[in-house]
Amino acid sequence: MVAEKTSKKLFSVTLRVWRQANAQSPGRFVDYPATDVNPDMSFLELLDVVNDGLTRKGDEPVAFAHDCREGICGTCSCTINGKPHGPGHGIATCQLYMRTFKDGDVIIVEPFRARAFPLVKDLVVDRSAFDKIQQAGGFISVRTGAAPDANSIPVPKADADLAMDAATCIGCGACVAACKNSSAMLFVAAKVSHLGLMPQGQPERDRRVLAMVRTMDDAGFGNCTNQYECSAACPKLISHDFIARMNRDYLAASVKSAFQPVSLGGGGAG
C-alpha cells in the first residue's frame, strides 16, 4: 500500500526504556534517541522503528506486548511517563500517537508494575491472574444448545446499556498498574456488574461475586481505598461506581452465605 506523502514536521525524542532480561535479573533504564518522528505515528510504531534499529546493530530489541493495535485486545501495557497507557485519556498504549509529544521530550517507558503481575521481560508482564479470576466465576453456566429463544428474556434497555458499559473492559490491567495498592477491584467489578445486571446472571450472582473476590485476594492484588486512579487510567473509562456495586453484591452475598452456605466450586460443569 502506498503511503501518503507527508507535509508533517518531523521531530526528535528520547525513549528512556526499562530493560530487564527476566524477573530474576536486575533491570535498568536505557536511553534510545529517536529522530524523524512523524506526529501521525503511533507510539508503538515508534517502538517498532527503534527495535528495527537495534536489530540492525545486532542488539536485542525491546520486548513489549501488543497485538490488535486498535485498543480492543488489551495486550499492550506500557506505563508511559508514569501513567499506565500514557498521557492520553480513555486509550490503550497502542492508541497513543506521537502528536501528543513535542521535540526534545524524554519519554519514560516502563512495564505495568504490580506484585500480581510478575515481570517476564523488558516491558512484558504476566497477567494470567486475570484469567484465574475469570475461571473462578466470570461466567453464566449455560451449556451449548440449552438456551431458550433470545427474545424470551427481555432485558430493560437501561440495564443492558449499563451492563455493556461494564462489559467493555479489555482486561489490560491498567487499573491494577494505576492503583497504589495494586488492586484489581475495577477489573473484577466490571465483570461482576456486567453479569449481575443481566437477568440471565441472577442465579449465580452470589456465588460469582464470592468466588471471584476470593480468587482476586488469593492472587495477591491489594484492596481498594477509593482513590479512583483505576477509572482514570482505564482505556474504556469504566466507572468506579461498579466497585460500589460489587461491594454491595459482596456484602449481600456474604450475609446470605452465613445463613445458607454457597458452593464456590466450578460452575456445575459436565
Partner 1 sequence: MAKLDSRIPSGPLADKWRKHKTDIKLVNPANKRKYEVIVVGAGLAGSSAAATLAELGYRVKCFVFHDSPRRAHSIAAQGGINAAKNYQNDGDSVHRLFYDTIKGGDYRAREANVHRLAEVSVNIIDQCAAQGVPFAREYGGLLANRSFGGAQVSRTFYARGQTGQQLLLGAYSALSRMVGAGGVELHTHSEMLDLVLVDGHAKGVIIRNLLTGEVTRHAADAVILATGGYGNVFNLSTYARQSNATAIWRAYKRGACFANPCYTQIHPTCIPVSGDYQSKLTLMSESLRNDGRIWVPKKKEDRLKAPGDIPEADRDYFLERIYPSFGNLCPRDVASRAAKRMCDEGRGVGESGLGVYLDFSDAIKRLGENGVRERYGNLFDIYHEITAESAYQQPMRIFPAVHYTMGGLWVDYNLMSNIPGLFVLGEANFSDHGANRLGASALMQGLADGYFVIPYTIGDYLAGQKPGSRPAADRAEFRQAEENVTGMTKRLLGIKGKEPVSHFHKRLGKLMWEYCGMARTKAGLETALQKIPELREEFWASVNVPGSAATLNQSLEQAGRVADFIELGELMCRDALTREESCGGHFREEHQYEDGECKRDDQNFAHAAAWEYQGEGKTPLRNVEPLNYEFTKMSVRSYK
9 interacts with partner 1 by CB under 8 A: no
Q: How far is the CB of 91 from partner 1 (least distance, A)?
A: 6
- How far apart, in Å, are the Cα atoms of 81 and each of 15, 26, 101, 195, 235? 10, 21, 11, 35, 16
Given candidates 12, 30, 33, 59, which one binds partner 1 under the rule CB under 8 A? Answer: 59
Convert residues 111-130 into a mask of x (bound to partner 1 by CB under 8 A) and - (unbound): ---------xx--x-xxx-x
How many residues bind partner 1 (CB under 8 A)? The answer is 93
135 interacts with partner 1 by CB under 8 A: yes
Per DSSP (E only), the strands in the chain are 11-19, 28-37, 78-80, 83-84, 106-111, 119-121, 124-125
Given candidates 19, 27, 73, 232, which one binds partner 1 under the rule CB under 8 A? Answer: 73
Residue matched to cell numbers 487510567? 233
Closest CA to 192 of 149, 251, 234, 127: 251
90 interacts with partner 1 by CB under 8 A: yes
Convert residues 10-39 into a mask of x (bound to partner 1 by CB under 8 A) and - (unbound): -----------xx---------------x-
Closest CA to 90 of 37, 169, 20, 194: 169
CA distance 18 to 28: 6
164 interacts with partner 1 by CB under 8 A: yes
Given candidates 14, 16, 49, 108, which one binds partner 1 under the rule CB under 8 A? Answer: 49
CA distance 270 to 76: 35
Q: How far is the CB of 86 from partner 1 (least distance, A)?
A: 12
